[in-house]
Amino acid sequence: MKKDIHPKDYRFVVFKDMSNDYAFLTKSTVKTKDTIKWEDGNEYPLVKLEISHKSHPFYTGKMQLVDTAGRVDKFKTKYAKHYESKK
């Protein structure tokens, strides 16, 4: 293996699923500007996720509509004329 290719600046980071407010604390090297106060009273860097294992259909076994940025509405308005012409 090559030497000195792995990062050395690991620190505790909170990853938060914005679709269901599930959060977990783990070590990571990801850079972020946001912070959050964790259950232990300390403040940690925050990474916002759109989907995690708590909201992904493969892990939950049920289909959920996760629309955090309005993508479904944008798609429907963009192709509304196409659907109307088929009727």
Backbone angles phi, psi at 80, to 5 degrees: -65, -40
Radius of gyration of the chain (CA): 19
* Beta partners for residue 26, in sequence order: 13
pLDDT, tens digit, for every residue of 3-53? 888 888 899 999 998 878 889 999 999 999 999 999 999 999 999 988 776
What's the predicted TM-score (pTM) here?
0.62
